[in-house]
Structure 1
Amino acid sequence: MKRTITLFGLCISVSLLLQTCNTRTVTVVQTGFWTVKSEFEGVSRNSAISFTTGNVAYMGTGVDNSGQSLIDFWKYDPSTNSWSQRANFPAKARSEAVAFSVGTKGYIGTGKDGSSGNLLRDFYAYDPITNTWKRIADFGGSARRSAVAFAIGAKSFVSTGFDGNEQRDLWQYDPATDTWTRKADFGGSARIGAATFVINNLAYVGTGSTQAVNQNDFWQYDSAKDLWIQRQNVANTSIQRAYGVGFAIINTGYLVTGSADNALWAYDPGSDSWTRKPSFGGVARTRAIGFSVGAKGYVTTGMNGTKSLDDLWEFEPNL
């Protein structure tokens, strides 16, 4: 098993004692508001999924350094900075899937079959209380990979992605009826590798790649009105990227990592403006996962060059 690292204090370089059966000294580098946390205990990977329920996060699937797709599934508890393995994802191993949570349950679906390369549209619900999986209605759109997913209230949504062509359709899932309904298409161009976050029951989707060109447009979706509105782009900056991650902390959204660089950008929906924040503390990466729990954001796994990663970084905006 991999060991847990706990950080104390704020400085640029700090030596830490790892309290285990065999004490050893570990040197870590902390940049700005980013802190390295306990590395992911599964194999290194990229193109995984994540969702949060309550005060914990879950992650799994993806592809490892050998190109093998995965079905293992893990829980991360920020309060103890620890990972624990949960019941494996019950279907075909896959990468580039999507995930979201509604209420106390998480949902995983779509993606690329690791053995055949076929695209998928099956979906599964995970119950953290019983640690069990249940197949639900297949995704309402075409089988695809590299889409985005988000939840607003009691409904969830899947959009964009690649089914042989880049797509911009939007589908709503209602867990109460186990049904998918097509909604208004994404406001921007069809794309893959976009990023998303939700603030005050409004979803925001942007960046990604359209016909191999990275994008920096940014859109707001109001599910009550089924309406997309374009928001402020960040022209001539490094926000233009694909396969980055997005997460929200309280009333601010964040975009980081991806095919551009390690720049972290914060979005204020009240002023419709972007602000540059301290760059991500880890190595540059694409196809990572990001999530937030409480007042902190997290980035883990991903790919640097051809190497998959397993480090975990915590971002605290008000440190």
Structure 2
Amino acid sequence: MLLIRAHHYAFAVILPVLLFLFGCKKNPIPDPAITVSVQDISNGFRLSTSISNVKTEDILESGLVWGENENLVKGAALSYLSPTPLANFSYDVVAGFTKGKRYFVRAYFIDQDHQLRYSEVVAFEGKNTLGLNISLPQQAYTWGDEVEVKVTNANGADLASATIVINGKMRLKPSKTIGGSVFFKVPAELYTYQNSVSLELYNQAGLNTYFILQQPQLPTDFLIVDKVGGTVKLTGNYFNPNIDSNIVMIGTTKLEVLKAERTALELKLPLAEFSYSGNFSVQTGKDLITTSKAVSKVYRFLTQVSEQSGVARYRGIMENINGKIYCGLGSDIDTRGLSDFYEYNPVASTWRKLADFPATLYGAGVSFTAKNKLVFIPNAIGTTFATDVYQFDIANNSWKKSNSYPGTMLSSYTLFASDNYGYMLGGGYATSTNYIYTVKSFKRYDPATDTWKTLPDFPGTSRRDFKSFKVGNNVIVFGGQSMWGTGESLYPTDSWSFDLVSETWKKIKDVPSYIYAVNCFSFEVNGKAYIGGGMSPAGVISSSIYEYDPIADTFVKKDNIIDKSMLVMSAATSVGGHGYIMFGKPSYDYHLQPLKEVFRFDP
């Protein structure tokens, strides 16, 4: 009986406790909850967060993370941190969403126990909105420069994780970050003047802005005057340190870049077949190019060795006597006859003023040397055409008048010489009606006795303004024009060779029509003749030098004439295995500046 009562008592005590405990289970303390929602707004998206079952004072930090990666983690995605920890807040994101791309967002908060809690991930589809807003200092850059990119809406993200995207293709990591700025160095592989740049952060594309590269800079009126195969150092600025990114040209000829620095280029002039010239240009990228206004010249066989004493001139004379060149006379740019005369030493490259010619010259004159005597036949003395002949006495530095040539006064004839005699061939004379007749007359002059002898007429077509050049003991005669008092001109094509030993003529294969006879220059070196410049019957001026091989009886192009002032009305001779060229003009335009330089030709 007592036992039953005891059980009843225990049950009566425990039952209320159990009922109390079961009652508590029906009303538990709810767990903290966090949700996020996405609302499409006119200029972007509104991301809203709601945190429940947590007192606001127990929230240490609250915010949002979003991006293209579904596995969003704070610190590895774009984020927003609420300035004051709130249980409910919204943030409008207006940048960086590409239309059609899928994006993800989740909210988070940190409680008083420093526990990080995330919401479920919510997905949404992007629309075209502005990317990360960036700006650059407005200036031109060059390779290796460090560029600052200022970011104004990074949303607290770690900018060291950013990628700099240039022109949509080139991707760079920052060289450094400071505050809200990302820095990068301009890569040498960049080759366009204007370049787009954007910032990509956690796969989120940013807004484009632009920067420009410096154009290469050359010294004012920079030019090169050198020989083919030479090496040249160019000092300037904003060259590409990547050798292959620099394209250096002279005209249409490309130079090899041996070494490249920002302020200097080391260049190799190609071993071209012919001389070449043109404006010097440096291209460091697609539209990064600078061209010098001055004309550069690269010579194959020609070398500028001096400048003439006296004024620049054309139609002058030059003769080699005992290894020195005697030259001068001719006309200046105003067509005035010049009387000054000089001795040029090609070994020492020195000049000596000699006695002036004793009469007033008008127009051109021609010369030859025989028995070490220089003989000059002027076209006119004063304004009178004449048959006068003069000799220059080297030993006494003086001029003397010699016996005139016999027959009618002639013009536009040719002169050539052997060791002992000078020869005067062809030319023309004017009638009272000013019509010109060409002649076949042929005369020989002996400077030792100051006597003239008339030889048998030239067997070929009569002519004037033609060319003769000596090679060995033979003189080749070609070109010119024939006139018979009608005012009309014919252009003979027959070519002849004169043997200086036997004094006989021989008809030879015609000289090619591309070698122009009128007012060209010629000289002989090592048994070969060289003919340059001149004008064709059609008025075309040649800019080539041709080599004649008498054994093979062939003409081949040897070089280009890149100094145009020697194209017509220049003079030439040879000394010690070298040709020398002086005087001349680019054309028959008398307003053009004559040649001032002296050139040596080394075949």
Distance in 2 of aligned mates of 1:168 and 1:145: 13
Give matches, 1:1-319, under 5 Å.
Answer: 10-11=228-229, 29-113=297-381, 115-116=382-383, 118-164=384-430, 165-211=437-483, 212=489, 217-235=494-512, 237-259=513-535, 260-283=541-564, 285-304=567-586, 305-306=589-590, 307=592, 308-317=594-603
- How far has the Cα of 1:220 moved from its partner? 1.1
- Give the drift of 1:244: 0.6
Note the residue ranges of structure 2 that are not aligned, 5 or more in a row: 1-224, 234-293, 431-436, 484-488, 536-540
**CA distance in structure 2 between the aligned counterparts of 1:239 and 1:105, rounded to whole angstroms:** 31
Deviation, structure 1 residue 27: 9.1
Between the aligned partners of 1:154 and 1:186, the Cα distance in structure 2 is: 20
Deviation at 1:256, TM superposition (A): 0.6
In structure 2, do the counterparts of structure 1 residues 39 and 47 end up closer, same or farther at CA, with 3 Å as the change threshold? same
Q: Distance in 2 between matches of 1:33 and 1:92?
A: 37
**Deviations for 1:124-165, whole angstroms, at most 9, x for unmatched residues?**
111212211222111124323322111112111111223223
The one-letter code of the counterpart of 2:365 is A
Partners of 2:380 and 2:386 within 8 A in 1: yes
1:275 Cα deviation after fit: 1.5
For 1:292 and 1:179, how far apart are their aligned partners in 2?
27
CA drift at 1:213: 5.3
* Distance in 1 separating the partners of 2:342 and 2:479: 28
Normalised by the size of structure 1, how large is the TM-score? 0.84
Distance 1:215 1:276 in 2: 23
Deviations 1:163-186 (A, max 9, x none): 223333111011232210111323
C-alpha contact 1:48 1:97 (8 A) present in aligned 2: yes
C-alpha deviations, 1:79-128, integer Å up to 9, x for none? 02233221111233133212111122211014133x42x32211111121
For 2:511 and 2:476, how far apart are their aligned partners in 1?
14
1:299-318, CA deviations, whole angstroms, 9 ceiling, x for partnerless residues? 2111223222222221110x
Secondary structure in structure 1 of the residue aligned to 2:569: coil
Distance 1:11 1:27, change over 3 A: farther
Q: Is the 8 A contact 2:476 2:498 kept in 1?
A: yes
- Whole-angstrom distance in 2 between the partners of 1:141 and 1:293: 34
The alignment yields a C-alpha RMSD, in angstroms, of 2.5
Alpha-carbon distance in structure 1 between the residues aligned to 2:232 and 2:401: 47
Instruction: Assess if the C-alpha contact under 8 Å between 1:268 and 1:274 holds in 2.
Output: yes
Which residue matches 1:3?
none
State the distance in 2 between where 1:12 and 1:217 align. Answer: 43
Instruction: Read off the aligned partner of 2:502 and give its amino acid letter.
Output: K
Distance 1:107 1:251, change over 3 A: same
Aligned-residue sequence identity (percent) comes to 26
Q: Is the 8 A contact 1:148 1:196 kept in 2?
A: yes
The whole-number CA distance in structure 2 between the counterparts of 1:50 and 1:300 is 8
Number of residue pairs the alignment of both structures matches:
298
| TM-aligned CA deviation for residue 217 of structure 1 | 4.3
Counterparts in 2 of 1:30 and 1:130: CA distance versus 1, 3 Å: farther
- State whether residues 215 and 240 of structure 1, in contact with CA within 8 Å, keep that contact through their aligned partners in structure 2: no
Structure (1 or 2) with the greater helix fraction: 2
The separation in 2 between residues aligned to 1:13 and 1:238, in whole angstroms, is 34
The residue identity in structure 1 corresponding to 2:601 is F
What is the distance in 2 between the residues matched to 1:214 and 1:300?
A: 28
Higher relative contact order (CA 8 A, sep 6+): 1
More displaced 10-residue stretch of structure 1: 37-46 or 202-211: 202-211
Q: What is the TM-score when the length of structure 2 is the normalising length?
A: 0.46
Q: What SS does the corresponding residue of 2:392 show, helix, strand or coil? A: strand
Q: Distance in 2 between matches of 1:56 and 1:214?
A: 37
Distance of aligned partners of 1:142 and 1:98 in 2 relative to their CA distance in 1, 3 Å threshold: farther
Q: Distance in 1 between matches of 2:340 and 2:229?
A: 35
